[in-house]
Structure 1
Amino acid sequence: MAQSPAKYKVVAFYTGKNDPAHISFVHEVDKWLTELAKDSCFEYESTNDWNRLNKDNLSGVDVVVFLDTRPDSLPNRLAFQNYMENGGAWLGFHFCAFALDGSTYPQNWDWYHETFLGSGQYKGNTWRPTTAIMNVENNSHPVTSDLPNNFVASPNEWYSWENDLRENPYIDILVSIDSSSFPLGTGPKKHEIWHDGYYPVVWTNRHFEMLYINMGHNDIDYESDTNKELSFTFNNAVQNKLIIDALFWLISCDSSSMR
């Protein structure tokens, strides 16, 4: 009997401690990826032990996923940088790109935020989490080639960045917020409602096998202190298609191989 082909290995790292909305997303995406892996060409595992982000453990990993945060220790950071500079692949969601001096997650990793992501520090966000209309900027890329020109994203807290990614020749912006979304956000603070501007949502860096997706913040009932989940990220077929095609592009596996 012929043996089944070896599956690609996808390992996700998370912290799962900062903000109920991020914790909600981590639980949701972890369950979603676990189910996705059952009928596809990859096996999936997740861990909140960032010390597993080391050279030995990464040697057999095809794709690393950051579900919420980033590694903090220097050995883990160097191991990840070495992995990416030597052909590794990475998929990151929402909060993993956050960095702000003076916060719990300061910009103290230039390679990651400036060279790898290209975005620099976090600059601002919309509030509350709301849907937004996405503009697919590159229909020829494998990640977006099967998407409509515009689609409505799940509710999310949308980020803006210190650096203008359009000025970085190595960054390919695949999806951005469409201007028809404005005004975006409900406040109550005025600066958390965007009325204009350019905001990339999904991008890659040509120097690496990587893709960042800004989605990853569910709406939560903070006001009544119940932390009840008011929205979910993966109740969205088009957005799910984007994430599936991103993952399969990174592992060089045809998504049509899903049973």
Structure 2
Amino acid sequence: MKKFVLRLALLFASCLALAMAPVPAQAAPAFKVLAFYNGTYDAAHISFVKEAQEWFPKIASQHNFGYTATKDWNQLNSLQPSQYQVVLFLDDLPQTSAQRAGFERYMRAGGAFFGFHVAAFTTNPSAWDWYHNKLLGTGAFKSNTWGPTTSTLRVENRPHPSTTRLPATFTSSVSEWYAWNNDLRKNPDIRILASVDPVSFPLGTDPNQSWYSGYYPILWTSNKYKMLYANFGHNKMNYETNQPLSSTFASEVQNRFVIDGLLWLGGAKTA
């Protein structure tokens, strides 16, 4: 009986010690990401945003960075790189002069940017010349493929931190693909990371909105700013039922680019 009581006392003491032990402080995030979105235009873009709001927090937890999403684009007006080291544009771009001026100051001050799909769309690049012609280099929207499909992408700059884990070619997730008026190959400030491989042609399912030949950059960065742009971010949809028929994060290889790109933009060690 005495032995039993003694064991019970020792067990109680051990449990009490564990309960009173200090909880290790959680490591501070290596960097912080602020994602801007609209979430009101085109069911395919809205679907991508909903996916992003689930996928990015999981990736942030796995790779020790902070992730915050907001619809308040006015936060760009006075945003500083010390507050958020990386900014994402998921399905839109700044619309007011104050937002645009604030974002340009943020980038010139050393902030980092990751834009997706429609974040580059414009038919009037002169309305924000710095963004469309200097930062992105695209100029105006020229054409698109339809309907949304996968594409075989050819990696062009493997030494870049965002592409070191990518094979020479890989299959993207499903997306609608954009072409631009400006030829990015002729821009010395733009470094193309991946483009459509010719084996993808014809690209699209509508004969009147398909690409049959040509050169189409899909992923790129800038030599002047810490930025990445990815042309994907448009899910295939059943527009009658508003149901997504694909996922932007379905390609594990493509996800490597997003993860490693974010880590590079945030100044962390890539995966």
Match 2:122 to one of 69, 81, 99: 99
In structure 1, the partner of 2:101 is 78
Report 1:1-259 matches (<5 A).
4-7=26-29, 8-56=31-79, 59-101=82-124, 108-187=127-206, 190=208, 192-222=209-239, 225-256=240-271
- Determine if contact 2:80/2:111 at 8 Å carries over to the other structure: no
Return the alpha-carbon distance in structure 1 between the equivalents of residues 269 and 137 of structure 2.
Answer: 28
Q: Give the 3-state SS of the residue equivalent to 2:115 in structure 1.
A: strand
Structure showing greater radius of gyration is 2
Q: Give the 3-state SS of the residue equivalent to 1:33 in structure 2.
A: helix
- Determine if contact 1:20/1:220 at 8 Å carries over to the other structure: yes
TM-score (norm 2): 0.88
Return the alpha-carbon distance in structure 2 between the equivalents of residues 107 and 32 of structure 1.
Answer: 34
Return the alpha-carbon distance in structure 2 between the equivalents of residues 50 and 66 of structure 1.
Answer: 10
Q: Which runs of 5+ in 2 are unaligned?
A: 1-21
- Determine if contact 2:79/2:102 at 8 Å carries over to the other structure: no
- Deviation per CA, 1:17-52, whole angstroms, max 9, x where unpaired? 110000000111121001111222211010011111
In structure 1, the partner of 2:4 is none
The one-letter amino acid paired with 2:255 is N
- Deviation per CA, 1:207-250, whole angstroms, max 9, x where unpaired? 0000000010000012xx11211111111110111110110010
Q: Which runs of 5+ in 1 are unaligned?
A: none
Identity %: 49
Number of residue pairs aligned between Structure 1 and Structure 2: 248
Return the alpha-carbon distance in structure 2 between the equivalents of residues 5 and 252 of structure 1.
Answer: 16
Return the alpha-carbon distance in structure 2 between the equivalents of residues 50 and 87 of structure 1.
Answer: 19
1:67: Cα distance to partner?
0.4
- Determine if contact 2:152/2:199 at 8 Å carries over to the other structure: yes
RMSD: 1.5
Higher helix share: 2
Q: Give the 3-state SS of the residue equivalent to 2:205 in structure 1.
A: coil
